[in-house]
């Protein structure tokens, strides 16, 4: 895994041991197989992580009691090459309902060999979160943020 730092975006890259179709599917519709249960902005226990597989689809956590906790909207659904979603989480780590105050996460998939895929995740648009946006950038690029999450994903996709 490599991580490139900049003032305005967080970029992490990883080559996974999986063909491109599988790499895309595990990241997106298979997110529940690898997303850590502790990474949840809802009030209850996270039972399932869901990405609806279409542009305009919802990204949300379903809690044990059935409550849905939204955290994004699918912006690009282009299997197996590109997936993007809005990061609808405010600086207070609650759901942000104003789409103008969301940042963006793009995930691209490129075949390295028929059985290996380069995955690049770029989280950008932090300034949309308003004053103090740097705290969101710093959070998602730190330990427990995208660098750790992409490694958890890499292990999961290789094991499936």
| pLDDT (tens digit per residue) in 120-140 | 999 999 999 999 999 999 999
The stretch 34-43 carries a mean pLDDT of: 93
Residue 14: helix, strand or coil by DSSP? strand
Counted residue by residue, the chain has a size of 160
CATH for the stretch 2-159: 3.30.530.20
Q: What is the mean pLDDT of residues 62-83?
A: 97
Q: Is 4 a residue whose pLDDT tops 80?
A: no
Place of tokens 């993007």: 84
Computed over every residue of the chain, the mean pLDDT equals: 95
Q: What contacts 150, CB < 8 A, 6 or more positions away?
A: 1, 12, 14, 119, 121
- pLDDT confidence of residue 58: 98
Position 5 pLDDT exceeds 90: no
Contact 92, 69 (CB under 8 A): no
CA dist., res. 104 & res. 82, Å (int): 13
Q: Is 11 exposed, middle or buried (0-12, 13-18, 19+ CB in 10 A)?
A: middle
Q: Could you report the per-residue pLDDT of 73-85, keeping only the tens digit for each?
A: 999 999 999 999 9
Q: Is residue 73 a contact partner of residue 59, using CB atoms and an 8 Å limit?
A: yes
Q: What percent of the chain is predicted at pLDDT more than 70?
A: 96
Model confidence pLDDT, tens digit, residues 85-118: 999 999 999 999 999 999 999 999 999 999 999 9
Tokens found for residue 124:
């950008």
Structure tokens at 47: 């039972």
Total-model pTM: 0.94
Which single residue is written with the structure tokens 């730092």? Answer: 5
């Amino acid at each position: 895994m490599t991580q490139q730092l900049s003032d305005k975006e967080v970029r992490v890259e990883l080559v996974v041991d999986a063909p491109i179709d599988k790499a895309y599917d595990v990241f997106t519709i298979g997110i529940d197989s690898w997303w850590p249960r502790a990474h949840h902005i809802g009030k209850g226990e996270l039972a399932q992580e869901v990405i609806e597989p279409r542009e305009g689809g919802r990204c949300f956590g379903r809690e044990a009691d059935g409550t849905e906790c939204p955290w994004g909207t699918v912006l690009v659904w282009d299997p197996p090459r590109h997936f993007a979603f809005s990061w609808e989480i405010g600086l207070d780590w609650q759901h942000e309902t104003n789409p103008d105050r969301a940042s963006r996460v793009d995930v691209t998939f490129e075949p390295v060999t028929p059985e290996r895929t380069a995955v690049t995740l770029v989280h950008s648009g932090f300034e949309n979160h308003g004053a103090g946006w740097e705290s969101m950038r710093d959070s998602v690029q730190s330990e427990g943020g995208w660098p750790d999450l992409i490694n958890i994903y890499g292990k999961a996709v290789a094991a499936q």
